[in-house]
Amino acid sequence: MPTYNAPLRDMRFVYHALVDGDSLHELPGYEDATPETVDAVLEEAAKLCRDVLQPLNRSGDEEGCQYENGVVRTPKGFKEAYDTFVEGGWPSLAADPDYGGQGLPHLLNTLVEEMICSANLSLGVYPGLTHGAYRALHAHASQELKDIYLPKMAEGTWTGTMCLTEPQCGTDLGLVRTKAEPSSDGSYSLSGTKIWISGGEHDLAENIVHLVLARLPDAPEGIKGISLFVVPKFVPKADGTPGERNGVNCGGIEHKMGLHGSATCVMNFDGATGWLVGQPHKGMRQMFTMMNLARLAVGVQGIGLAEASFQGAVQQAHDREQGRALNGPAYPDRKADPILVHPDVRRMLLTMRAYTEGMRALGAWVAKEADVAHAHPDTSRRRAADDLVALMTPIVKAMFTDLGYDVTNLGVQVFGGAGYVRETGMEQFIRDARIAQIYEGTNGVQALDLVGRKMPANMGRSLRRLYHPIAEFIQEHQDDARMQDFVQPLAKSFGRLQTVTGWLAQKGMSDREEAGAAATDFLRLMGLVAMGYMWARMARLALENEGDDPDGFHAAKLATARFYMTRLLPQTGALMSAILSGKDSMTDVPDSAFALSA
Amino acid sequence: MPTYNAPLRDMRFVYHALVDGDSLHELPGYEDATPETVDAVLEEAAKLCRDVLQPLNRSGDEEGCQYENGVVRTPKGFKEAYDTFVEGGWPSLAADPDYGGQGLPHLLNTLVEEMICSANLSLGVYPGLTHGAYRALHAHASQELKDIYLPKMAEGTWTGTMCLTEPQCGTDLGLVRTKAEPSSDGSYSLSGTKIWISGGEHDLAENIVHLVLARLPDAPEGIKGISLFVVPKFVPKADGTPGERNGVNCGGIEHKMGLHGSATCVMNFDGATGWLVGQPHKGMRQMFTMMNLARLAVGVQGIGLAEASFQGAVQQAHDREQGRALNGPAYPDRKADPILVHPDVRRMLLTMRAYTEGMRALGAWVAKEADVAHAHPDTSRRRAADDLVALMTPIVKAMFTDLGYDVTNLGVQVFGGAGYVRETGMEQFIRDARIAQIYEGTNGVQALDLVGRKMPANMGRSLRRLYHPIAEFIQEHQDDARMQDFVQPLAKSFGRLQTVTGWLAQKGMSDREEAGAAATDFLRLMGLVAMGYMWARMARLALENEGDDPDGFHAAKLATARFYMTRLLPQTGALMSAILSGKDSMTDVPDSAFALSA
């Protein structure tokens, strides 16, 4: 397993210089987010990840979770590591001070979460979901429920889950069958089976708080008849400590491709006591609070695994000696040159780096806007920020997890045969990364969300939150000679994006299938352009700092930006061609093309 | 695990109609390859794969190979299945009748191998490697060695291996350290350690024949001092049966991402008796006979896993009901529509199908030319065929394994969460497919082989074997109205390929790093155009047969061809842009870009 060291230099660059995270400190509620505090938090988190979480990553994968008679044991060391995590106050980092939180920005939390995902994604899933459940309760639950649950969840002594999926329903939650019957005391009795519940049962925390989608007896059919309930594993006593065991039990865990240390549970609700969160039949809207946050968090998993794999690959490219440079030995005194001398190995490493740092930059911009949307005193500024976050959420989720997966695959490729062997830890990143393209809404569903919901929303207002800054940046730098290598490719790809957007607005309005056929390619096109914009901004900062660059950080940024512009951004041309060819190649297809020809 | 049924309809189409495999029957040695025999063989192979090999695929993955004290046990049922395989005469299908073979075409064997890879790749690795070792011995060993080993290997009672890699050397075989000391009786004593030896030790066969690269005492340094030896596990007695145990032992097996039923062994040679194959110090050339064949065979693994995954995905798309079609319910009487109604699901399925059938078609063309190169009485026809095979070998190996991997990933995506669970068998295809991009020369090495060796070879003669037929096809059909949807995109992408080829010939000649920087993108560009050519040919055949199409086979071909042309082939534009931007973005990069910024 490669040693993981958090990319603090890049994180500080992104936080302080690129997205001006320090300005958050002026917003009400974020007063504590001074540059010094931010750096101290990043450094402490880096230590925790390196010393506590990462050493358990491979052993956790090998051992996996064990299920017996309703009990789930997490891998050796997970409980102790989680205790350390809780003692360090990490679950409360971005939680509300009214409920014991530290009130630090989401932006900072995102960088910390990236580290956790790099170090030990399986372990990170438990607190990650807890934070999502915390946010959903914070937004929608009654004061009474908040007072009971939020402090415990902010503390991390209780964890949270999201119980949506049932055997017959995943993407289509309108098919939920779990029932909630009202009891005389104002609580509800829930019955049904939920599957693929991450952290549904485990031995890390003293209580588990399930957020459950279910139907009330008078519920309308479909998606408009779903309500949200909170169902604790142990019903809290009056003093707030866990009381009686509730009627919710784990019926088994899945054997999965990866993420072995994260328990994926079948949860049986058998007359379990629950409490309604928010209004009846509005459960989907409430759950979306949690899902949107979870989608951003899943995107961050893509960054984290990409970074971890990149670190391993860079090390290997320096260490492994094999063959000679194409134009003659680079290290004639050695038996062979390190494989880093080969352009094709550099191509792989630069692809990994360009995507990883590009995702971090783009993710940070979105995370900062989420903080602005949350805390800015000005309504229109809040709304503008919220628009951007809404627009970018499917891109962060889908593109980041796709690219994260691709990067982990490149990491194995750099290792060659050794990457396929479990011992090196490189293939685990692939296996752990694969689920992120699926859960919290498959990436195809994200693409539909983008073209079907986010783009048309508010007459294209959200879209302008992305397009305007890009257009302004291009205009501002179009005569800057040093910026030509970056502005020209950006302008070209942005032109493609605008062409396709216009086409889609026209076609997709009258025919939703046209939008559906274009969706996945369009999401990638927009995402690559947005990432290109971030790379151009990073290049500008690097050029400004070129003279004072003792560690070569800015030189590396410039080189990586150039690689992105020349080698990766041209994909936008192929995506445009594919999209403009229209839906017919998918929809005007005989049934026989979807039957086996055997 | 999805049920596997060999795509016999498509295989017959490819064999008989597309590449005119029936003409092989007129070549000396292939007289038995009548259309009737070919179809009978395909049908029998399909039964074997469905009934014997495929049922052990998932259990083999779960159980894996077990190592204890030098002994390797394959998963339950593998031995019996292998016995059935041997009793059916399958190992001898394409072997020389002089040594007990059936002398059937490589083309036919390739289709059978594809089936085996679909059904149970782990089990297929043992006979696959045996056939490669058989071919190397057939080409280079003395008559005496041939008489001893070839009949047993053709029979399958003895299996073969390829012992190249050592801890310090993989790609760079010039670093081989294993020593061979001459003994007084004409044999050699070999000492050294080989790693990652597929099938190095197992319980399937009565003997294992290792082909080993080693150095003689007087060997020059590097690649020109490598000789090839045959080292049997049991030294054959005078009567040809296995005799004394030789000094070669398995020191352990690797724990890998996938391919669990295939034993990947550390092999220790401790004064093992071996015999020189061919001339001293010419081992690399001899091993290349095996490696070239193995590279084509590895490409076929990509097809096989893609097909298996496609079959699972098509089934799932019909069975899984979730959500509604975008333009309104397609099956209003059901609770939800099958996910097949969604353009994005169709995009995934058509991508899988277009690549899988495109690979099968292209692979069949190359395999047929290999037969022509082997058996045609006319020297210049033989040479022309050999040129094409040499040129296409790195493309078949690299592009097919890359696309095979991509297709298995799409298969999991179509399944959603269920694809990530081991139970469905879909994620196993990903894990099994991943190694094919690495072994027998990483795909980056294949790309270097293409641009550095195959393209410049014989002043571009090999290249013309691909470009001329494409140019002719375009010219022949450029005025055919019904072919416009296929010929125009093909011509456009072929124009790009020619542009880039010219650029590369000019740049790469003076600077090998330019070729190295372009290599991977160029291989994909050439491969996609070659596949486009095969899709255009298939479209023409489908148009010819459109009137008589009871099962919709030809309609499906046309639809898939259209999808390929509009949605996949445009990638060639992005590849061209990337390549023409030159090497600087990879080579003119500061060291800091390859260091961690932490």
Chain B residue numbers with beta carbons less than 8 Å from the beta carbon of A598 are 5-9, 46
Is there a contact between A203 and A233 (Cβ–Cβ < 8 Å)?
no
Q: Are residues B123 and B171 in the same domain?
A: no
Q: Are residues A164 and A256 in the same domain?
A: yes
CB contact under 8 Å between B257 and A422, yes or no, is yes
Give the position of tokens 């040809």: B240
| Catalytically annotated residue among A113, A440, A472, A476 | A440
CB contact under 8 Å between B417 and A439, yes or no, is yes
Q: Are residues B190 and B270 in the same domain?
A: yes
pLDDT at B142: 97
Written as six digits, the tokens of A162 are 């999201």
What is the number of structural domains in chain B? 3
pLDDT at B285: 86
Chain B residue numbers with beta carbons less than 8 Å from the beta carbon of A405 are 409
Do the strands A234-236 and A227-232 form a parallel or antiparallel pair, or are they unpaired? unpaired
Is there a contact between A188 and A229 (Cβ–Cβ < 8 Å)?
yes
pLDDT at A596: 78
Out of A282, A300, A322, a domain closes at: A282
Is there a contact between B353 and B531 (Cβ–Cβ < 8 Å)?
no
Q: Are residues A128 and A250 in the same domain?
A: no
- Min Cα separation A580/chain B (Å): 9
Chain B residue numbers with beta carbons less than 8 Å from the beta carbon of A172 are 322-323, 336
Q: Is A559 on the interface with B (CB under 8 A)?
A: yes
d(CA A28, CA A375): 6
Residues of B annotated as catalytic are 440
Give the number of C-alpha atoms closer than 13 A to the C-alpha of residue B595, restricted to the C-beta side.
12
Question: pLDDT for B344-367, tens place per residue?
Answer: 999 999 999 999 999 999 999 999
Chain B residue numbers with beta carbons less than 8 Å from the beta carbon of A347 are 517, 520, 586
- Min Cα separation A541/chain B (Å): 16
Amino acid (1-letter code) at residue B478: Q
pLDDT at B403: 98
Q: Is A318 on the interface with B (CB under 8 A)?
A: yes
Residue with the larger pLDDT of the pair B80 and A170 = B80
Q: Work out the burial of residue B201: count CB atoms within 10 Å of its CB; fewer than 13 is exposed, 13-18 middle, 19 or more buried.
A: buried
Q: Is A583 on the interface with B (CB under 8 A)?
A: yes
Structural domain span for residue B194: 158-282
pLDDT at A597: 60
Q: Which residue of B has its CA nearest to A9?
A: B598
Query: Residue A319 falls within a domain, yes or no?
Result: no
Query: Residue B428 falls within a domain, yes or no?
Result: no
Q: Which residue of A has its CA nearest to B310?
A: A596
Q: Are residues A115 and A186 in the same domain?
A: no
Q: Are residues A139 and A17 in the same domain?
A: yes
Which of B173, B410, B597 to probe by mutation at the A interface, max A CB count within 10 Å? B597
Comparing CB atoms, the residue among B322, B326, B585 nearest residue A172 is: B322
Query: Residue A398 falls within a domain, yes or no?
Result: no
Query: Residue B592 falls within a domain, yes or no?
Result: no
Amino acid (1-letter code) at residue B314: V
pLDDT at A170: 87
Q: Is A439 on the interface with B (CB under 8 A)?
A: yes
- Min Cα separation A317/chain B (Å): 9
Give the position of tokens 């294993």: B178
> Pick from B263, B302, B307: which is nearest to B46 by CA?
B307
Q: Is A47 on the interface with B (CB under 8 A)?
A: no
How is B39-51 classified by DSSP, letter by letter? Answer: HHHHHHHHHHIII
Q: Is A235 on the interface with B (CB under 8 A)?
A: no
Question: pLDDT for B390-427, tens place per residue?
Answer: 999 999 999 999 999 999 999 999 999 999 999 999 99
Q: Are residues A124 and A174 in the same domain?
A: no
CB contact under 8 Å between B423 and A255, yes or no, is yes
CB contact under 8 Å between B586 and A343, yes or no, is yes
Q: Is A509 on the interface with B (CB under 8 A)?
A: no
Query: Residue A117 falls within a domain, yes or no?
Result: yes
CB contact under 8 Å between A435 and B420, yes or no, is yes
CB contact under 8 Å between B513 and A586, yes or no, is no
Q: Is B397 on the interface with A (CB under 8 A)?
A: no
How many interface pairs between A and B have CB atoms less than 8 angstroms apart?
314
Q: Is B512 on the interface with A (CB under 8 A)?
A: yes
Chain A residue numbers with beta carbons less than 8 Å from the beta carbon of B169 are 322
Which of A342, A440, A529, A576 to probe by mutation at the B interface, max B CB count within 10 Å? A342
Q: Is B447 on the interface with A (CB under 8 A)?
A: yes
- Min Cα separation B525/chain A (Å): 13
Out of B282, B302, B321, a domain closes at: B282
Q: With left for phi above 0 and alpha for psi between -120 and 50, is residue B101 left, alpha or beta? A: beta
Residue B254: give its domain's CATH number: 2.40.110.20
- Min Cα separation A137/chain B (Å): 26
Alpha helices in B17-98 (DSSP H): 35-48, 57-63, 78-87
CB contact under 8 Å between B323 and A556, yes or no, is no
Written as six digits, the tokens of A417 are 């045969």
Residues of chain A predicted below pLDDT 50? none
Question: pLDDT for B48-70, tens place per residue?
Answer: 999 999 999 999 999 999 999 99
Q: Are residues B121 and B196 in the same domain?
A: no
Written as six digits, the tokens of A419 are 């990457």
Written as six digits, the tokens of B68 are 């204890």
d(CA A248, CA A268): 6
Out of A85, A120, A144, a domain closes at: A144
Chain A residue numbers with beta carbons less than 8 Å from the beta carbon of B321 are 168
Residue A122: give its domain's CATH number: 1.10.540.10
Query: Residue B314 falls within a domain, yes or no?
Result: no
- Listed by number, the residues of chain A in 84-143 with a beta carbon closer than 8 Å to a beta carbon of chain B are none
Q: Are residues B94 and B221 in the same domain?
A: no
Compute the Cα dihedral for B498, B504, B506, B509 and give only its sign. Answer: negative
Written as six digits, the tokens of B40 are 């009978």
Q: Are residues A241 and A138 in the same domain?
A: no
pLDDT at B268: 98
Query: Residue A432 falls within a domain, yes or no?
Result: no
Q: Are residues B24 and B104 in the same domain?
A: yes
pLDDT at B1: 62
Is there a contact between B132 and B293 (Cβ–Cβ < 8 Å)?
yes
pLDDT over 70 (residue B573): yes
Chain A residue numbers with beta carbons less than 8 Å from the beta carbon of B317 are 594
CB contact under 8 Å between A573 and B578, yes or no, is no
pLDDT over 70 (residue B598): no
Q: What are phi and psi of B39, to 5 degrees?
A: -65, -40
pLDDT at B280: 96
Q: Is A512 on the interface with B (CB under 8 A)?
A: yes
Q: Is A169 on the interface with B (CB under 8 A)?
A: yes
Is there a contact between A564 and A535 (Cβ–Cβ < 8 Å)?
yes
Question: pLDDT for A48-100, tens place per residue?
Answer: 999 999 999 999 999 999 999 999 999 999 999 999 999 999 999 999 999 99
Query: Residue A597 falls within a domain, yes or no?
Result: no
Buried/exposed code over B459-476 (b: 16+ C-beta within 10 A; e: otherwise): eeebbbbbbeebeebbee
DSSP reduced 3-state for A33 = coil
Q: Are residues A130 and A189 in the same domain?
A: no
d(CA B88, CA B45): 9
Any idea what DSSP says for residue B293?
H
CB contact under 8 Å between A439 and B422, yes or no, is no
Q: What percent of chain B has pLDDT over 90?
A: 93
d(CA A2, CA A20): 32
CB contact under 8 Å between A420 and B257, yes or no, is yes
> Pick from A251, A233, A286, A70: which is nearest to A167 by CA?
A251
Q: Work out the burial of residue B282: count CB atoms within 10 Å of its CB; fewer than 13 is exposed, 13-18 middle, 19 or more buried.
A: middle
CB contact under 8 Å between A171 and B574, yes or no, is no
pTM: 0.97
Average pLDDT over chain B, rounded to whole?
96
Question: pLDDT for A280-337, tens place per residue?
Answer: 999 988 888 778 889 999 999 999 999 999 999 999 999 999 989 998 999 999 989 9
pLDDT over 90 (residue B111): yes
